Chain A
Amino acid sequence: MSEKGEVDLTGVKQNTGVWLVKVPKYLAQQWAKAPGRGEVGKIRICKKGNQGKPEVSFTLNEELTTIEGIEDKTVSAPRDHPFTMQSVGGQMLAVFTESSSDKLALEGVVVQRAECRPAVSESYMKLKRLQIEESSKPARLSQQLLKPVTTNYKPVAIHDYNREYERKKKEEGKRARSDKQQVLDMLFSAFEKHQYYNIKDLVDITKQPVTYLKEILRDIGIYNVKGTHKNTWELKPEYRHYQAEEKTDE
């Protein structure tokens, strides 16, 4: 496992220099739509004479300028984007990659920072306006319903509940006391799965009347407050064999 976590340092060794460019959101979206090999545009570096800073500018490809806005408004994105060059400053910025197979590699060091700014144009303004409109819309909306809601009356007794209640009564009636042995078996198998049980849950599981069940439980189990507010039943220590999964009976 020495592979895992090992960072591939070839990029740093070669002194690979990269640029870190901040790109506006819409442009990034457009780039994501790039077809084919992923060509999105051209970058032009213009050097003015011997001195002076180089001017870098990016031109977006024609095909990518169409932005499909919402509500069928298509705006065209500006094409020209000059880069504003910035120095890295004292800060050391390195680039590392994480592959899908969790391999880490250090690609290189940032030598230049830049910001991609759109050239101010009519299309940009339109785009911006659209964006603002979209973002200014509230997230929640009040809407008037055309048809009033008629499905929820306030019944005296809820119909569904009523039905269920009657059904339950018919089906179960009073819980019958089955054989003590059977109940014990059920209890033991239940306690195999979990150590602590609520009395209600046990009644549910065993389908026994509460008093009868409590009697049986008093024999084989203990009732503990356990510090939490729920009071739970658990088996007595002599009946417990949680590792071996054996249960002594009676």
Chain B
Amino acid sequence: MFLDIFCFILQSGSGPSTTEYTVRVPKNTSKKYNIMAFNAGDRVNCSSWTQARMERDMSARRIYGEEETPESGAGSEFGKKQREEARRKKFGIVTREFKVEDQPWILKVNGKAGKRFKGIKKGGVTENASYYIFTQCPDGAFEAFPVHGWYNFTQQAKHRTLTAEEAEEEWGRRNKVVNHFSIMLQRRLREQGGCEDDEDETEKGGKKKKKGGQKGGDLRLHDLDDDLEMSSDDSDSSMGEDGESKAKAKKDLGKGKAKKKKQKSHDKEAIEDSDDGDYEGLEVDYMSEESRSDHQNLLFFFFICIDEMSESEEESEEEKQNEEEAKEEEEEEGKKTPVQVENKKKKDSSGESDSSDDSDIEGETASALFMVKKRTPPKRPGGRGSAGSSRTGSRPGTPSIDSASTSSTLRAAASKLEQGKRQIQAAGTDSPAAKRLKMEPSSQSPVPSGKSTPQPPSGKSTPSSSDVQLTEDAVRRYLIRKPMTTKDLLKKFQTKRTGLSSEQTVNVLAQILKRLNPERKMVNDKMHFYLTE
């Protein structure tokens, strides 16, 4: 409209021309005029709006608002209001009133999918000078309306933002994290992970993604000390992790937890609680009498392993190999608690390596127990395949097992359990490599020989003499009669009477138990097996 005026003036010639208009200030306006100011950078174009809704933002009302205590009836106190008021006056607390007029506006343009603006009142506009809006009327006169309020409208973010805590956290890591785009991604994944069950797998799945994301995108700059460890762990474990997670899926979750969590906890930087510490302190002392129950535990694990072995033997073994490759140096991180336990034992024993073969054997026995199912001798990349595959085949167990280490360890385990019989065989093969898994050196002999499986034959054992035969029927009889622990069972089938060597006994017994699949119950903290006919 004004442009028209100016144009008119322009057209009317070169000489100066003036036009006069009357100015009116209407008195009876029921409408209050306000200014809606937008940021230049927002590039708001009002004409593009198809629809707009605006209302006051009343969220501040509850802050200013009344007490939560009810006025009367239940929960109220007599004279509460007066007392509160008196108290406030005494302390000089002046609460500002909640004025609707001063509340911000919420403007929504083009419906739900459109933009959102928040208009905050600008103070002090009408204090020293008045603003007027001059509009031109059809009759050419100007009408001036006073501006009641000025609101600055800013666009509201639709994207997700970090909360204050998260922002502080990220601020702390700002020097380390280069890839800032992953921050929000991780947050989203974290939320997803938190919603799911507390299963290791899912967590790990999520974290793996996260870790992968980090690895993929981040160039993590590490501070020297603590992070160096972490980075070495990272690189080591990254390879093994895929295999591990699959392996874990198949294996006992509870047992796997210890190792896995330990690995992951490094990376997470205290984002999650690591509860692998629960298992850490577990030490089994193989030297002393009192550790008998631990032996039982070991055997129990052993039997469980056998159970599981029937489910998924090959894959796990293959992956175990991978794991072991990756994990060689990391003695601290036993794969499973017992293994961890066992490693510790080994370290202990390796300290006195030369001194006592017994200790070596004892240490190895435990590992042998697991080796039955899980362990292939590590550090044998070449022969692994064959070893692994050969294991699953159930070869008739030769009583004298060639694989020296495994045999000796099994034997040692059995002997320890029986509390008195130690048959030292081929101890020489167990070179007590300090701080090495005992499996490693001992694996040299078995592998070339096309490693015979330490696994007890699926067939029956061959008892030579028979006062007592270690047969399935015998075991069944015992178990039907009353619940027995593994130790009890072993006692029944003493090597002298069955004619089997102790490790054979253990193997065969394990096989039988697997076949029988007895029921288990805990009596006096000991796992008993029993059958019901």
CA distance A192 to B74 in the complex (A): 8
Check if B91 is an interface residue, CB within 8 A of chain A.
Answer: no
Minimum CB–CB distance from A243 to chain B (whole Å) comes to: 8
Check if B288 is an interface residue, CB within 8 A of chain A.
Answer: no
- B23 and A42 contact, CB distance less than 8 A: yes
Q: Mark B57-82, 1 if CB is under 8 A from A, else 0.
A: 00000000000000011111111000
**Given the complex, which residues of A lie within 8 Å of B131, measured CB to CB?**
20-23
Minimum CB–CB distance from A44 to chain B (whole Å) comes to: 5
**Given the complex, which residues of A lie within 8 Å of B77, measured CB to CB?**
194-198, 230, 232
- B54 and A5 contact, CB distance less than 8 A: yes
Count A/B pairs, Cβ under 8 Å: 214
Check if B86 is an interface residue, CB within 8 A of chain A.
Answer: no
Check if B522 is an interface residue, CB within 8 A of chain A.
Answer: no
Minimum CB–CB distance from B290 to chain A (whole Å) comes to: 52
**Given the complex, which residues of B lie within 8 Å of A54, measured CB to CB?**
6, 9
Q: Which of A106-114, A148-156, A168-176 contacts B (4 or more CB under 8 A)?
A: A106-114
B23, B34, B146, B147 — which one has the most chain A CB atoms within 10 A of its CB?
A: B23
Q: Which of A84-92, A120-128, A157-165, A213-221 contacts B (4 or more CB under 8 A)?
A: A84-92
Residue of B nearest to A90 (CB): B40
Check if B181 is an interface residue, CB within 8 A of chain A.
Answer: no
**Given the complex, which residues of B lie within 8 Å of A93, measured CB to CB?**
35-38
Q: Mark B258-278, 1 if CB is under 8 A from A, else 0.
A: 000000000000000000000
Contact partner of A7 (CB less than 8 A), chosen from B53, B74, B133, is B53
Residue of A nearest to B141 (CB): A39
Q: Which of B11-19, B167-175, B385-393, B420-428 contacts A (4 or more CB under 8 A)?
A: B11-19
- A24 and B53 contact, CB distance less than 8 A: no
- A44 and B23 contact, CB distance less than 8 A: no
**Given the complex, which residues of B lie within 8 Å of A232, measured CB to CB?**
77
* Number of A positions contacting B (CB below 8 A): 74
**Given the complex, which residues of A lie within 8 Å of B35, measured CB to CB?**
20, 93-95, 110
Q: Which of B14-61 contact A (CB under 8 A)?
A: 14-27, 30-42, 44-47, 49-55
Residue of A nearest to B106 (CB): A5
Minimum CB–CB distance from A123 to chain B (whole Å) comes to: 19
Contact partner of B52 (CB less than 8 A), chosen from A7, A23, A99, A190, is A7
Q: Which of A9-17, A68-76, A137-145, A177-185 contacts B (4 or more CB under 8 A)?
A: A9-17
**Given the complex, which residues of A lie within 8 Å of B146, measured CB to CB?**
28
- B72 and A16 contact, CB distance less than 8 A: no
**Given the complex, which residues of A lie within 8 Å of B18, measured CB to CB?**
44-47
CA distance A48 to B16 in the complex (A): 4
Minimum CB–CB distance from B56 to chain A (whole Å) comes to: 9
Residue of A nearest to B11 (CB): A50
**Given the complex, which residues of A lie within 8 Å of B41, measured CB to CB?**
90
Minimum CB–CB distance from B90 to chain A (whole Å) comes to: 14
- A104 and B54 contact, CB distance less than 8 A: yes
Question: What 6 A-B pairs come out closest when comparing CB atoms?
Answer: A90-B40, A242-B74, A28-B130, A47-B9, A19-B134, A196-B77
User: What would be 6 A-B contacts, judged by CB atoms less than 8 Å apart?
Assistant: A20-B147, A23-B130, A23-B132, A92-B46, A94-B35, A201-B78
Excluding A6-B52, A22-B129, A106-B46, 6 further A-B contacts by CB distance (< 8 Å) are: A7-B52, A38-B27, A58-B23, A96-B54, A193-B73, A198-B78
